[in-house]
Structure 1
């Protein structure tokens, strides 16, 4: 994605109970405080409530206008009945710490409490989240999916470089700031934890949940890993390009997941039916990021190697059908020179699944033309 934005000086601490030191210019509140020194305010005294933006298990987000500055903000409200103060501090701290990244939603230095809730302020976008931008059963245009996934991957790569794991990657947590998707931002760090931390499984599974978590039983200890996010990123990409989930649960009892596992483990060369719209190059990435063995999953930045390749079969540059030989070459490991050669030749208009002598002649003509 080119040069990364200058993120500014490193915060003094990543202790979730201690607010990091950073300045954000935001005239969205008459006063500000830190999570260690919360101001006790009445919400209605300082903000006009416009509407609810979203509700979740742990709280809700509302659109509000600051009475003193006439600025619209998104206020995240976490009820004290279900949220411990240390949990609120952790979410605000991580949100504030990460928000200088270009593709992470801005969290302002506005944090306070009421009699019933903890509240902090974030930037607002009228364009909503990615979930509503994905046409069901159809999916997004390839160019739009590429634009989005690059930015989400950049945000995750930044988080992972700080040893932080988002743990809740899904379209609802990606905000859209431009109609052409040229700027999207990752949000909601309520589940964010440090890499290597032990947590207990308390929730059920969703299609983005990796198999190592799906297999755990309730209250079982789970080690948080950055590879959890990488799995979710792969599922997110599938959803963007198809408008469907690849499976309901990443559990062997799910027939669609089982079919994928058989292919992923190379026990069959047959591409699962719901994956056949993807080119061999993209299937190579899916095989890497959706590896059942967590230690074999690729880093999130691996996606950048595939951005310039065709991803959907009906949008391939050559306009020709994919042969079984080409599938096997494109699906091979990244260090296989034949797979890389096939991709290069295709990009120069050389048909790689025709008569060998004809192919050799075309290669010779191409080399001579250079």
Structure 2
């Protein structure tokens, strides 16, 4: 079975009244997620190919159940709101609230996490959303970083109810669940052991793991099972390990984690009790106390992004290039490929294809005005100064970076931060492709068929066509890591190219770790928008 299926090979996307599709913002095993304009607003539309989905056991009934549950949960401000759903002969579709600021965990530094104040803010919103869905009898069963998005004001949005279940009736009658659901690092012990389980209690465990990841930038173990040495150490220490990162947490949050991550489901705190815990209940700098939502999105976003760094130093480069051991091992290329739907119908240049903070569409009139302006200034520089991702490659301090991000967010363009796992380059296309393919080869991430850099260059001499280089394997936690690196022209009439790391199925922190590693190996081709860089992309 081929690694990828091009969108152009599938049936035409459905024509939906008053809706115009925009950029593809997600890829999956049998569909894609697109942004779309409808009645002056931007929504996200999940599109599932019926023929491919049926092969995996996803039926109209399955998809309909997901839509109904999401609609039922939509009244809470930290749940992605249901908009509409439908189907035709070829596609199921589900329109929902657009997570304008992308994945939360795309903006968290691996092995470092975020400031406790930010972790507290987002944990409180996640617990509030979970408490609400439990109050109406729904358990999510797949709470993990991939299913947590941010809206245009930086608020958390719980999404993807594909594995959710109604476990409690309106009269209070409850039922146990038997189907194991979720990703191994976030599974409760009883789910990992294949036992019947209370889905409410398994959700509690998952939000505890999410809190740990927010604080530390890593999961505590690969899976909560006795065969896992890290989990075994946690049990042996009675929930008080003295090793990093546990010993770096404050007393209050450690107390909460110990109360939530209890092996016995009946011993775990209930969600309403988590909300009342002294650490959760304390005031938060970013929170509007009246509604629990963000009161200052600019400062929150700037603080969150200001912690991100991709080191391009000589020491880091020499360490990586001389090392034979990486987070990703050579056996990855031997993994059996999964089928992924890749959108090959988008053009390369996108004129910073994003949505403004006011949700106004980027129109042809805007494009014409931009072209006129670009006659008067360097096009690459003009693009880079509007892209917050370039700041993670610079050497400025945290405060300086935060100030620059806040200026970008408050500026006339008010650009949002959909994804930070990309870099810009002014290298000639052939040189850029060689850098990327050679880096992936060193990491053992390409099959023999895909490993020839010269073949990639020969087959992609049309520099205006977006190029997708597949990534398929396992990360350091033995979890599947599937996606692709997309190389496209960043803006019309410029040699500037955007290199996007498009995640399909992977832990967001491991994907960012992978992005940082490849970026370091491609450091000679990265353009940061600084005046010291010449037009050929080198210092």
TM bucket, shorter chain? 0.5 to 0.7
Structure 2 CA distance for aligned equivalents of residues 244 and 211 of structure 1: 18
Paired position in structure 1 for 2:70: 95
Q: TM-score, normalised by structure 1?
A: 0.64
Unaligned runs of 5+ in 2: 1-11, 168-173, 284-539
* Misfit runs of 4+, over 4 Å: 196-200, 202-205
1:1-370 maps to which residues of 2 (within 5 A)? Answer: 43-44=14-15, 46=17, 47-57=19-29, 59-66=31-38, 69-81=39-51, 82=53, 83-108=58-83, 110-178=84-152, 181=154, 183-195=155-167, 196-197=174-175, 199-201=177-179, 205-216=183-194, 222-264=196-238, 271-304=242-275, 305=277, 306-307=279-280
Structure 1 CA distance for aligned equivalents of residues 16 and 241 of structure 2: 63
Residues 98 and 159 of structure 1 are in contact (CA less than 8 Å); yes or no, is this contact kept in structure 2? yes
Structure 2 CA distance for aligned equivalents of residues 203 and 307 of structure 1: 27
Give the superposition deviation at 1:156. 0.3
Q: Please state whether the residue corresponding to 2:109 is helix, strand or coil.
A: coil
Distance change >3 Å, CA 115–CA 157, structure 1 → 2: same
Give the superposition deviation at 1:283. 1.7
Distance change >3 Å, CA 203–CA 303, structure 1 → 2: closer
Q: Please state whether the residue corresponding to 2:26 is helix, strand or coil.
A: strand
| CA RMSD, 1 decimal | 2.6
Paired position in structure 1 for 2:304: none
Structure 2 CA distance for aligned equivalents of residues 58 and 159 of structure 1: 27
Q: Number of aligned residue pairs: give it.
A: 259
Structure 1 CA distance for aligned equivalents of residues 64 and 175 of structure 2: 17
Structure 2 CA distance for aligned equivalents of residues 51 and 225 of structure 1: 35
Give the superposition deviation at 1:278. 1.1
Q: Please state whether the residue corresponding to 2:124 is helix, strand or coil.
A: helix
Distance change >3 Å, CA 45–CA 233, structure 1 → 2: closer
Unaligned runs of 5+ in 1: 1-40, 311-370
Structure 2 CA distance for aligned equivalents of residues 71 and 178 of structure 1: 12
Residues 177 and 199 of structure 2 are in contact (CA less than 8 Å); yes or no, is this contact kept in structure 1? no
Structure 2 CA distance for aligned equivalents of residues 124 and 163 of structure 1: 25
Distance change >3 Å, CA 206–CA 117, structure 1 → 2: same
Residues 205 and 214 of structure 1 are in contact (CA less than 8 Å); yes or no, is this contact kept in structure 2? no
Distance change >3 Å, CA 99–CA 203, structure 1 → 2: closer
Structure 2 CA distance for aligned equivalents of residues 202 and 85 of structure 1: 22
| Greater Cα offset, 116-125 or 41-50 | 41-50
Residues 96 and 106 of structure 1 are in contact (CA less than 8 Å); yes or no, is this contact kept in structure 2? yes
Distance change >3 Å, CA 277–CA 133, structure 1 → 2: same
Structure 2 CA distance for aligned equivalents of residues 270 and 71 of structure 1: 49
Give the superposition deviation at 1:227. 0.5
CA-to-partner distance for each residue in 1:102-160, whole Å, 9 max, x for gaps? 1111111x222122221121121321021212111110111111110111100000111
Distance change >3 Å, CA 71–CA 233, structure 1 → 2: same
Structure 1 CA distance for aligned equivalents of residues 30 and 128 of structure 2: 27
Distance change >3 Å, CA 222–CA 120, structure 1 → 2: same
Residues 160 and 226 of structure 1 are in contact (CA less than 8 Å); yes or no, is this contact kept in structure 2? yes
Paired position in structure 1 for 2:372: none
| Greater Cα offset, 227-236 or 296-305 | 296-305
Residues 178 and 184 of structure 1 are in contact (CA less than 8 Å); yes or no, is this contact kept in structure 2? no
Structure 2 CA distance for aligned equivalents of residues 175 and 205 of structure 1: 17
Give the superposition deviation at 1:199. 4.8
Structure 1 CA distance for aligned equivalents of residues 188 and 197 of structure 2: 13
Residues 260 and 272 of structure 1 are in contact (CA less than 8 Å); yes or no, is this contact kept in structure 2? no
Distance change >3 Å, CA 58–CA 201, structure 1 → 2: farther
CA-to-partner distance for each residue in 1:140-187, whole Å, 9 max, x for gaps? 1111111101111000001111121101111221111256x4x21111
